[in-house]
Structure formats: structure tokens, C-alpha cells
Structure 1
Amino acid sequence: MSRTTTAPGHSAETASRAVSDPPGISAEPATAPLPDAPAVTPLRFGYGTNGLADLRLDDALALLADLGYDGVGLTLDHMHLDPLAPDLAARTERLARRLDELGLGVTVETGARYVLDPRRKHGPSLLDPDPDDRARRVDLLIRAVRVAADLGAHAVHCFSGITPPGTDPDTAWDRLAEALTPVLEAATTAGVPLAVEPEPGHLLATLADFDRLRRTLGDPEHLGLTLDIGHCQCLEPLSPADCIRAAAPWLRHVQIEDMRRGIHEHLPFGDGEIDFPPVLAALSAAGYQGLTVVELPRHSHAGPHFAEHSLPFLRSAEAAATGSPLLVPPHGDPSATPEGSTS
């Protein structure tokens, strides 16, 4: 089943990597809007299934639809649309129908921890020394592109991986470019953007690194960016809002959560340091039309609670930023009900 794809316009660890101004993404915030972008674009919020790992996929989707989310960040994993199990095409077709029934948009995410290797988190990566191991990751990403096309997803997310011990940076960058080439070819054929995420601690960790990859590959049309707002707070030289303005031309997917400077720990809204109205105002002004997906994978034990409280927080922040009506009544402090509480 093929649907039309619409392309748009974790324990705590210290982020010790030094960063500099991105060479192709100016430290001066962009002032001109994207071509034909409206002054204010309503934002579409989703929630990641990696933060609902204790729920069956259909239960998770029904929950998000009931709460008023616009979509879902679908991590392909053993419990949620296993990309390696038999009959993937048939299972994807059933899921596409269910998403249509619920009125949910979707982004396909590929950050499952152990989907390829039960012993190595996120292994193998696109940077592994063994070409056969790299090929396994490439195969997963190409499968993800096909799933995304059949679901009508607005993007496929991926990341580089951590540089293996003993691998020099130039070799790692060469491996990354070589590995992503067939994935981009599949994405181009399918008409689905590939949105690479800068991830703290990975080879491609910053906006400057994304710009290096983009230039190395010749700025292909279907290569885009996944911007994680918390990662901007964690280690970018720009503020999260200025990161959005600087990266707007390549923005294809957004993940969002709270975070503190220098510490890569995904936090519920209100538990970190981010000022969210300017962030959402920047997304709206940039004309971003994809999903903005809540990313709380380490809070899956209380996923329904955080899903319930995250959307009102974001809608309130959006209303404060843009002057738009508050469409979802607030539910209070997103951290008000701790694990084990009976309230």
C-alpha cells in the first residue's frame, strides 16, 4: 500500500565535545523566512513510541489519538512494527489503515537500541569497521524508507553512530558518506526525506557536523535534518530558537523535550532549562509543517502519564508564542504524578 508522502518546506552523560560555529549554518540567526512560508504556521505535535514501549502499538496509537496528538514518531523495534519480522509489507499496510482511521500523521524513527544486535546498544552502526555490519544498518534504513513511503510518513530519521575505537575521524566520515549513499538513493526514489539527527557523543553531533555531511554529499535534495531541541540546549553554541532559524532550510523532523546545558539527559517539560515559547515561535515562523515529536525514551515506565501532560504544555507554550487559541485544556505540571503514585 502506498500513500502520498508530504515533505515539509539515555542515562545522563556529560557532553564534553567542544563546538564551533557551523561553517555553513551561520551563528547569526536567519532573518528571512523560507520562500512562501506563512508568518505563523500551526504546529503539529506527536509523541514517540520509544516513550511508550510498555504499550502495544495499537494501544499507544489509540492513546495518542484520544489525547489529541496530531501524529506519532514510530520507532521501528521488536515491539512496534518489527522491521526484521516476516510480512513487513502486510503489517505496514494494516498500520497505514489504522493511522488513517485515527487521523494520525507519522515519522519513522530508527533509534531502537537493540533491534539489530542484542548485545550492543545501537549496534552495528554506519561507522563499524566491518563492512558487513555497516551493510546491516544500511539495510535497516532502506527498510525504514520503504515503510515510511507506505505509511505516508513525512520523513525517516537516522543518526551516524559513535566513532569506533581506533578509527580516525576522516575514515569515519568516509564510511558515513559511503553508507548513506544507497539510503539516499532509496529515499529519492520513494520521495521521502532522510532526516539525519545530530546526536551528542556521535560522529555527527552538531549542526556544524550536519553541514559537513551535506556538503560532502553534494547537498542532495532528499537529505534533511532532524533537530532535537534538547540537544541544542545541551551543546550547540546557538540558543534552541536560533538553531531553528539557522537550520530552517534543511529542517525535516523535530524532536522535543527539556534538557540542561552540558548534560545529555532527556527531561519532562519544566524539569530542564529550555524556554519553550521562543522555540515554538521560531518553528512556526520558519513554516515548519512536519511533526514535532516528544522524545522521552527513558520515561516509558510512565509513558501514558507523560503523554497526557506533554501536549497541554506544548499547546500552552505555542499559544503564548504565537497568540493562537489554546486548543487543549492544560492538565497541570507534567511532573506532578511521580512513578508509584496512585493519583
Structure 2
Amino acid sequence: MTTTPGTRTPGPRNSLTDPAPAPGAPLRFAYGTNGFGDHRLPDALRVLADLGYDGVSLTLDHQHLDPYAPDLPRRIADVRRVLDVTGLGLVVETGARYLLDPWRKHRPTLLSAEADGRARRLDLLRCAIGIGAELGAGAVHFWSGAADPGTGQDEAWARLVDGCAETVAHADAAGVDLAFEPEPGMLVADLAGYRRLDDALGRPDRFRLTLDIGHCRCLEPHSVTRCVELAADRLAHVQIEDMRRGVHEHLPFGDGDIHFPPVLAALGAAGYRGLVSVELPRHSHAATATARHSIEFLRSAALLKEVVPV
């Protein structure tokens, strides 16, 4: 199923040609709906707005704006009305666990051995781009996935480049930025992998980056603040949570070992204008309390000016 972009003007872009805001401009905090899985989507949006969030990272899923629902146009219109009333900014995410396959988490992918599986992932990305255009999203987020057993790295890489090139063409036509996320355990796991992929695609302007702050702490060879500096020229989206070195587990702030004031200062110094989205997908059972704690923590951390390596 595909969705034709509407006429609603997309939100602010993060294009390399856009004038950057002055360093130190306030960061825009958001929260991911994958951490509000027990809420109706309109309720989740209103809660986040009431807590003072500036935006939302909306994961398309069976319970939240299912892209394959028969009444999708009405649902999009309903979400648009809530966004207009609350003033929330938006990133559309495509990382639902079992949306495409009820048996296999995060499958199929752009790397899948079955052509039909790759086509289903591409269709989801096309649909997400259309939804993003209609809702004025700042970006549409996606990742590579992991190669199937028996698929060689060269073959997986070729499939990924082909799939990303096709997705970039759709994003160009819709006027929507893509925000590709390196993800631990996937074919593209780190910033170096993103740079390699970006180069293979010819560095298209719409093929931007999601930087996950926890992932930087988990596996990157640089400090988290240095990762922000290295990624600044391509950033379209930032995900944020606490994490420990070498362990890919998204933790509430204060439960890991990241020191956040210098990280937020680095984002501000880079003139980053997109959303900084809390990514706690395993905390729907305590969504409102976790969201409240997160915004309070981030606001406090953003007020501290100390800059030390992380």
C-alpha cells in the first residue's frame, strides 16, 4: 500500500543549505511513541504536549497509525489535527517490531533474500514518506536491518545500496528528508558505516542521519561529544537515552553511564535544529512517569554548561 503525499507544507528541514540557528539555541525535546504502546495515539500526543515536549517520534505500528489500516486517510487527518492543536513537531519512524511479519522481529528488511520481502520493506518506506509529507514531518527514520543467514556481506551491501537509492528517489519526490540510523547488530552499525553508505549513494542531500546518543556510548570508538561533532553536518534526527559501554540496552536517564550536559551542549553548539527524541521502547508500562522524568532530566542537563569528554 502506498500513500500519496498531500499538500501540507513540510516542517523545518535540516538541509545543508538551510541557514543554521545561532549556537546555543534551545534544543527541541521529543518522545517516541514506541514508549507509549499502551496509549491511544491522540492521548499519547496530548500527554507529551502537556508535559512540555516539543515533538514526537511516531513509530508506524498496528496500534499507532497503522500504515495498512483501511481507514488510513482518516487516521492521518485525525493525527494532523492533534499535531496542529498541540504544536508538536514530528519525525516518522519505521522500526516497528512485527508490523511486516508476525513471526520475525524487524523483518523483512532491505537486505532480505526474498525479493518479495525487500519489496514489502520498500513499500513501507514509501508509505512512511507519504505519511511524513502529509503530516509535515521533519524526517522519516529507517535503518539497514541485519543480513539473513547465508547472505554474504557484499550481496547484503548491494541490496542495501539499491534499496536506499530507491527510497531517496521517493523522498526527493515528496520533499521529505530521510534520517538513516546506524544500529548495533545491523549491517550498518556505526557512524563509519553510515559514511560508507552515504558515499556509495553519492551523498544525496535527502539522505541524512539519525544519531542515537546511547549507541555512541555503546560502541563508537569516540567520545559521545566527539560523535556529535563528527555527525553534525548530516544530522536530521537525534535519539537519546542512557546506556552503558558495550551493552545495547536503552536505559532511563541516570541508569547508564553517559554524562549528558556536554552532549546537549555539543548539539547546541552544532546549531542542531531537529528533534532530540527520547527512545525508551520498553517502558510503555510506565510511559507517563518515564516521559515526565525524561523531560525534567533533559531540561536540567541542558542548563548545565560544563563540557567534559564523555
TM-score, length-normalised on structure 1? 0.85
User: How far apart, in 1, do the equivalents of 2:7 and 2:40 lie?
Assistant: 24
- After TM superposition, give the deviation of residue 284 of structure 1 in Å: 0.5
For residue 61 of structure 1, the aligned residue among 17, 41, 45 is 45
- After TM superposition, give the deviation of residue 94 of structure 1 in Å: 2.0
For residue 61 of structure 2, the aligned residue among 47, 61, 77 is 77
Q: Which amino acid aligns with 1:3?
A: R
For residue 233 of structure 1, the aligned residue among 217, 220, 223 is 217
For residue 13 of structure 2, the aligned residue among 2, 7, 18 is 7
User: How far apart, in 2, do the equivalents of 1:2 and 1:50 lie?
Assistant: 27
User: How far apart, in 2, do the equivalents of 1:36 and 1:102 lie?
Assistant: 25
In structure 2, the partner of 1:270 is 254
User: How far apart, in 2, do the equivalents of 1:239 and 1:322 lie?
Assistant: 15
User: How far apart, in 2, do the equivalents of 1:190 and 1:96 lie?
Assistant: 17
SS in 2 for 1:298: coil
In structure 2, the partner of 1:296 is 280
State yes or no: 1:149 paired with 2:133.
yes
CA contact 1:232–1:240 (8 Å) conserved in 2: yes
State yes or no: 1:318 paired with 2:302.
yes
In structure 2, the partner of 1:254 is 238
In structure 1, the partner of 2:3 is none
In structure 1, the partner of 2:184 is 200
Q: Deviations over 1:243-263 (max 9, x none)?
A: 010110100001000000000
Distance 1:322 1:61, change over 3 A: farther
SS in 1 for 2:75: helix
- Structure 1 gaps of 5+ residues are 10-33, 324-343
User: How far apart, in 2, do the equivalents of 1:321 and 1:45 lie?
Assistant: 18
Identity %: 59
Q: Which amino acid aligns with 1:7?
A: R
CA contact 1:89–1:147 (8 Å) conserved in 2: no
CA contact 1:114–1:123 (8 Å) conserved in 2: yes
SS in 2 for 1:72: strand
- Note the aligned Cα RMSD (angstroms): 1.4
SS in 2 for 1:195: strand
CA contact 2:253–2:297 (8 Å) conserved in 1: yes
Q: Which amino acid aligns with 1:244?
A: V
CA contact 2:111–2:144 (8 Å) conserved in 1: yes
CA contact 2:21–2:273 (8 Å) conserved in 1: no
Moved more, 143-152 or 87-96: 87-96
CA contact 1:2–1:151 (8 Å) conserved in 2: no
Q: Deviations over 1:50-93 (max 9, x none)?
A: 00001110110110011010010000000000011113223212
User: How far apart, in 1, do the equivalents of 2:13 and 2:291 lie?
Assistant: 26
State yes or no: 1:121 paired with 2:105.
yes
User: How far apart, in 2, do the equivalents of 1:281 and 1:133 lie?
Assistant: 42
- After TM superposition, give the deviation of residue 37 of structure 1 in Å: 4.4
Q: Which amino acid aligns with 1:124?
A: P
In structure 2, the partner of 1:140 is 124
Q: Deviations over 1:127-178 (max 9, x none)?
A: 0001110000000011000000101000000000011111111111100011
Moved more, 88-97 or 98-107: 88-97
- Structure 2 gaps of 5+ residues are 1-5
SS in 2 for 1:266: strand
Q: Which amino acid aligns with 1:296?
A: L
CA contact 1:259–1:271 (8 Å) conserved in 2: yes
TM-score, length-normalised on structure 2? 0.94
User: How far apart, in 1, do the equivalents of 2:48 and 2:20 lie?
Assistant: 31
Q: Which amino acid aligns with 1:314?
A: L
Q: Which amino acid aligns with 1:215?
A: D
Show structure 1 runs of 4+ deviating over 6 A. Answer: none
User: How far apart, in 1, do the equivalents of 2:198 and 2:252 lie?
Assistant: 32
SS in 2 for 1:178: helix
Distance 1:4 1:322, change over 3 A: farther
Q: Which amino acid aligns with 2:13?
A: A
User: How far apart, in 2, do the equivalents of 1:173 and 1:211 lie?
Assistant: 13
SS in 2 for 1:141: helix
User: How far apart, in 2, do the equivalents of 1:43 and 1:3 lie?
Assistant: 25
SS in 2 for 1:81: coil
